[in-house]
Structure 1
Amino acid sequence: MKSEWTKKKLSDIADFNPRETIKKGAIAKKIPMDVLRPFYRDIPYYVEECFSGGTKFRNGDTIMARITPCLENGKTAQVSILNDGEVGFGSTEYIVFRAKEGIADKDYLYYLVCSPEVREPAIKSMVGSSGRQRVQTDVVKNLEIDVPPLVEQEKIGSFLKAFDDKIALNDRINKNLLEQAQAIYTKMFITDADSLWPEGKLSDLIEVCYGKDHKKLHDGDIPVYGSGGIMRHVDRALYEQESVLVPRKGTLNNVMYVNEPFWSVDTMFFTKMKRQNVAKFVFHFLKGKDLASMNAGSAVPSMTTKILNAIPLQIPDDQTLSTFEAQVSPFYQTASYNNKESENLAAIRDSLLPKLMSGEIDVSDIDL
C-alpha cells in the first residue's frame, strides 16, 4: 500500500557508477552507445575491444545515457550480456545504476530509471553547450522519490518485466526467422547462383535516398527509424513502400527491412526499388556484406551513396526473384505480426509504468 512507501533519495537505493576493475589493454565486452535501442530493455549485441577507459558494469546494472539527444531518445538498458562475475564497459556518457542489495530490486530500479520520476528531472538538469548537454549526476543522485517496500518493488519489477520478456522472445523468434530466410538466400543466390546472370551494380536495383530530420514532426503512429531501430512515432510518413534502410553513420551493418509507411532519420539512407520482388533480395544481399569496411579511409565509419550504388552483384532473373519472394514471405509475415504485438506490449507497459511507480496502481495484494 502507498501508506507503506517511504521518501528516499535515489542514491539511498542505488549505487552510482559502482567501482569495478578492468585491466588497461585487456579485451572486454563493450556496449557502444549506438547499440542501445530506444526504450528497449535488452542490449542486442556487444563488441570486444581493448579496454582503455569508460564506465564499467555487471549483469543486472542499469545504464542510462546522460547526453543529449540519447537520453531524450530513450537510450536506457539493463545489462544482461555478460557472464557471471564478468565486468563489461561502455561509453563515458553512461550513468550506471546498481540496486543496493536488500534495499532495492534490480528490475524495479531499471523501470524507475525509465519512468518520468527520474527521466524528466534528469532531462531538465542537463547543462552544457547546445547539442552536447549532459545530465548533472548529482541532481539525479539527490532526487527524492517515494519508494515501496522491497517485496512490493519485486512485484512491480516482475509485473513490468513480463512485458519485456515477451518482447525479447518475439525478437529471438524474428531473428531465427531472418536467419532461415538468409539461409534460403545463400543457397539460391550464392551456392546455386547461375553463372549466366549478368553482372551489375546495386544502383541497377535501387535508388538511394537521404532520410530527414524528424524533430519538428508531431507525434503519431508512423515509426521513425534510426540505426538502432524505432526511435518514436510521428504523424506523417517520409516513404510508404517496401524499403531497405542503411545507416550512414554509427553501426553501419545494422541494415533494416521495412514494409510499412515510415520516416527515416537524417543519419540513415532509405531505398526505393526499381524492380519488383527485389527488396528482400537487396536486404539479404546487404546483410551478407561488411558495410563498415567499405569506407576504411574515412576517419569516422560512414556510408555514402557512391559506395552503395557501386557495390557489384549478379542480377538474378525475374523468375528466380519471384521464387525467392514466395519462399521467404511467410517468414516476414510472421515477423511483422510479432513486431506489431511487441509494439502493443510496449505501449501497454509504458502506460502502466508511471502509474505503478507513483503508487496509483496498488500491487501489494497481488501474487505474482
Structure 2
Amino acid sequence: MWQVRKLGEIFTLKYGKALTAEKRIKGDFKVYSSGGVCGYSDDTLCTNGIVVGRKGTVGSVYYSETPFFAIDTAFYIDEFHNADKKFVYYYLNTLHLESYNNDAAVPGLNRNLVHKLKGNIPPLPIQKKIADILSDYDDLIENNNRRIDLLEQVAQQIFKDWFIRFHFPGYEKAHFIKGIPDGWEVKRFSEMLEIIDGDRGVNYPNQNEMLDEGFCLFLNAGNITSNGFDYSKNNFITQEKDSKLKKGKLNRNDIIITTRGTVGNVALYNSLVPYDNVRINSGMVIIRPNISSINVSFLYLLLRSSSVQQLFNLFSSGSAQPQLPIKDMKRIKVLLPSNELLTAFEAVVKPILDSISSNKVKNQNLIKQRDLLLPRLMSGKLEV
C-alpha cells in the first residue's frame, strides 16, 4: 500500500566535502559537483548512490553505480530507509528540486527543507519494479551511447590516418611536394566555406516566445554539445515568428559551430535529424562549403579535429564569456585534399556518421518514452 512519507524518512542527504581542483585531475573514481562529473580522484565518499546539486546547479540529480566523491556544491545519498536507491533517483527527478532554491544571491538547496517534503511512496517491491522498468530504458540509452562513442572514434581515426598521417589509400605511390601530397592545397576558411550567423535583429525571439513544441526548433546552447546534437531540452518558435527572421535557417547537411560561451562544439544537420525547420541562436554560426568537392563528412570531422579546435581556442577572445569572431574564423588555414580522395573518404565515412545520427534519434525516442512513463509510474496511475 502506498504511504505518504517525508523524504527524510526514506533517505538522508549528506554534505559533499571540499576537494580543490588540483586534487581532482587524476584518479580512478568520478568526482561530482552540482553540475555533474567535474574530475577524477583516488578518494571516495561512498561505494554507490545519488548526487543532488546543492549550490550552483540547484536540484540536479545524478546516479552512480560505482564509488565516487561529491564536492561541497552537492549533497550525496548512500543511506536509504526501506527504499530502493534507484527508485529514489527516479523519484527525485520528478520533484523539480531547482524550484526550492532558497538563496537568491547564491542558488542553494536547503537540506532540512528537502527532508520535510512529503511524497506518496509505494512499498519496496513496487519501488523495485518501477526502478527496473525505467532502468531498462536507461540501459538501452547507455548502450546506444557506447555505440555512438565507438563510431565517433572510428570516424576520427580514419580522418587522422588519411589526412593527418597521410596514410590514405594509395599513399605508397603518392608524389609529395614539400611534404604535401600532390593535388592537395592549403586554403583559408574564407576560400572554402560560407560562415553564416543568425538573425540578431529586432525580431530575435525572447524567452516568452519560446515553446515546448512548435513549428521551428530554435537551437539553444544545450542542443550543441561536444558530442554533437542533444535534443533533451528543446525550444521552439511559431511559423509566424520563423517567417520574420531573415538569417540563421538551416539547410540539410549544414554544420553548426558554437561561437560564444563554450566555443567550438560542432553538430551535423543531416537528413536523419528529426526536425525539418531549425534555426541557430546568436551564439552559433552555420558552416556551408562553397567548393562542390568538399563533402560534409570531411568537413564535420575537420572542424572537430584537434588542430582546428586548437585554432578556435586561439582565436577566441573574452575571459568571462569567450567568443569566436567570424572574421577570425575566416583566417584559419587548412590542408584541402584532392577531389578524388574526398569522394573516397565520403564513401567510407558517411555510413558511420549516419549510424551515429540514427542512434541519437533512437535515444531521443527512448528518452521521450521514459519521461512520459516516469510521472505516471511515480504517481501510481500506471500499475506495475
Per the TM superposition, whether the score is higher than 0.5 is yes
Q: CA deviation at 1:162?
A: 0.8
Of residues 171, 177, 185 in structure 2, which corresponds to 1:198? 185
Equivalence map 1:173-188=2 (5 Å): 173-188=147-162
Aligned length: 333
Give the TM-score normalised by the residue count of structure 1.
0.75
Whole-Å Cα distance in 2 between the matches of residues 223 and 317 of structure 1?
36
Give the TM-score normalised by the residue count of structure 2.
0.72
Is 2:218–2:234's contact at 8 Å kept on the other side of the alignment? Answer: yes
Structure 1 residue runs without a partner (length 5+): 37-42, 364-368
Is 1:126–1:136's contact at 8 Å kept on the other side of the alignment? Answer: yes
Structure 2 match to 1:40: none
Identity of aligned residues (%): 21
Whole-Å Cα distance in 1 between the matches of residues 50 and 340 of structure 2?
51
Higher deviation after alignment, 243-252 or 139-148: 243-252
Of residues 201, 213, 216 in structure 2, which corresponds to 1:220? 213
Q: CA deviation at 1:58?
A: 6.5
- Describe the SS at the equivalent of 1:14: coil
- Describe the SS at the equivalent of 1:61: strand
Of residues 283, 298, 304 in structure 2, which corresponds to 1:267? 283
Is 2:53–2:60's contact at 8 Å kept on the other side of the alignment? Answer: yes
Note if 1:304 corresponds to 2:324: yes
Note if 1:143 corresponds to 2:127: no
Higher deviation after alignment, 283-292 or 312-321: 283-292
Is 2:317–2:324's contact at 8 Å kept on the other side of the alignment? Answer: no
Alignment CA distance shift 1:313-1:151 (3 Å)? same
Structure 2 match to 1:366: none
Structure 1 match to 2:10: 13
Note if 1:106 corresponds to 2:85: yes
Is 2:60–2:98's contact at 8 Å kept on the other side of the alignment? Answer: no
Equivalence map 1:34-113=2 (5 Å): 47=39, 59-64=48-53, 76-79=61-64, 84=67, 86-89=68-71, 92=73, 95-113=74-92
Is the radius of gyration larger for structure 1 or structure 2?
A: 2
Higher deviation after alignment, 336-345 or 211-220: 211-220
Q: CA deviation at 1:172?
A: 1.0
Is 2:263–2:324's contact at 8 Å kept on the other side of the alignment? Answer: no
Structure 2 match to 1:314: 335
Whole-Å Cα distance in 1 between the matches of residues 295 and 46 of structure 2?
43
Whole-Å Cα distance in 2 between the matches of residues 207 and 302 of structure 1?
22
Q: CA deviation at 1:328?
A: 1.0
Structure 1 match to 2:345: 324
- Give me the CA root mean square deviation: 3.6
Whole-Å Cα distance in 2 between the matches of residues 129 and 22 of structure 1?
25
Note if 1:207 corresponds to 2:159: no
Whole-Å Cα distance in 2 between the matches of residues 7 and 107 of structure 1?
19
- Describe the SS at the equivalent of 1:339: helix
Structure 2 residue runs without a partner (length 5+): 167-179, 199-203, 243-248
Higher deviation after alignment, 271-280 or 154-163: 271-280
Whole-Å Cα distance in 1 between the matches of residues 317 and 41 of structure 2?
20
